[in-house]
Chain A
Amino acid sequence: EDKVVQSPLSLVVHEGDTVTLNCSYEVTNFRSLLWYKQEKKAPTFLFMLTSSGIEKKSGRLSSILDKKELFSILNITATQTGDSAVYLCAVELRGSARQLTFGSGTQLTVLP
């Protein structure tokens, strides 16, 4: 059975801290790994990772994939209260349907 596990389940930090969110996976027919940010409603797309060791960066957020050890991390530096959200990791499977298998998410709370 395909499985995506995120840790920690929840995290509380203060503004300015740096956080690292983890995502490990066991799936057949891996194609890519995606990170989404969910603030109460629709998940918004952050990154898609397909190759090992290549960091993707967007402002204070960055992510990297390790296909040998089957995990990815999402880093957020200099956190702000607006970063408070659930961060979802999903693995995309090969095949025409491009199905996503999601982890349960990490609830990040950034205190002022």
Chain B
Amino acid sequence: DGGITQSPKYLFRKEGQNVTLSCEQNLNHDAMYWYRQDPGQGLRLIYYSQIVNDFQKGDIAEGYSVSREKKESFPLTVTSAQKNPTAFYLCASSHQGGTQYFGPGTRLTVL
């Protein structure tokens, strides 16, 4: 099955804890992206990566970190420095110059 997978689907964490969200794709896409979606709002770009071992900050990178050690994987860590981490997180990937396709998302709730 080709596609983008994100895990877990739902995640609950206590305030002050770091948490890592997984994103994997087997589409052989070069570029991968992380977005955050809050209720009633559009998607905002957190980080993106165009090639392995390289990534850039998006519009709201503060309090987040990423790595891109493998082409298929682009994990996102939500650190304790992120002030309002409760949100729906979406990962996307694309060929260079291609349309972005999205994973099913992870809903993070910080208690």
Using CB atoms and an 8 Å cutoff, list the residues of chain A in contact with chain B. Answer: 4, 6, 9, 34, 36, 41-45, 48, 88, 90, 96-100, 102-105
Given A41-B104, A42-B102, A42-B104, residue A98 in contact with residue B31 (CB < 8 A): yes
| Residues of A close to B33: CB separation below 8 A | 100
Known: A42-B102, A42-B105. A98 touches B42 (CB 8 A): no
Which residues of B are found within 8 Å of A102, using beta-carbon distances?
35, 42-44
With the chains together, A45 CA to B42 CA distance in Å? Answer: 15
Cα distance, A45 to B44, chains bound together (Å): 17
> Hey, which chain B residues are within 8 Å of A100, CB to CB?
33, 43, 45, 100
Report how far A96 CA is from B54 CA in the complex, Å. Answer: 13
- Nearest residue (CB) in B for A104 is B42
Residues of chain A within 8 A (CB-CB) of B43 are: 43, 88, 90, 100, 102
Q: How many residues of B contact A (CB 8 A)?
A: 26
Q: Kindly state the separation between the CA atoms of A105 and B56 in the bound complex, as whole angstroms.
A: 26
Q: Which residues of B contact A43 (CB under 8 A)?
A: 43, 90, 102
**B58 CB within 8 Å of chain A:** yes
Within B38-53, the residues touching A (CB, 8 Å) are 40-45, 48, 50
Q: Cβ of B56 and Cβ of A97 under 8 Å apart?
A: yes
- Interface-side segment among B61-69, B74-82, B91-99: B91-99
- Alpha-carbon distance between A98 and B45 when the two chains are bound, in angstroms: 12
Instruction: For chain B, residues 20 to 36, give those with C-beta under 8 angstroms from any C-beta of chain A.
Output: 31, 33, 35
Are B96 and A34 touching (Cβ within 8 A)? no
What separation, in Å, do the CA atoms of A49 and B98 have in the docked complex? 13
A99 to B101, CA, bound (A): 13
Nearest CB on B from A8, distance (A): 13
How far apart are B75's CB and chain A's nearest CB, in angstroms? 18
- Closest Cβ neighbor of A44 among chain B residues: B102
If A4-B42, A98-B31, A102-B44 touch, does A45 touch B104 (CB 8 Å cutoff)? Answer: no
Are B50 and A96 in touch, CB under 8 angstroms? yes
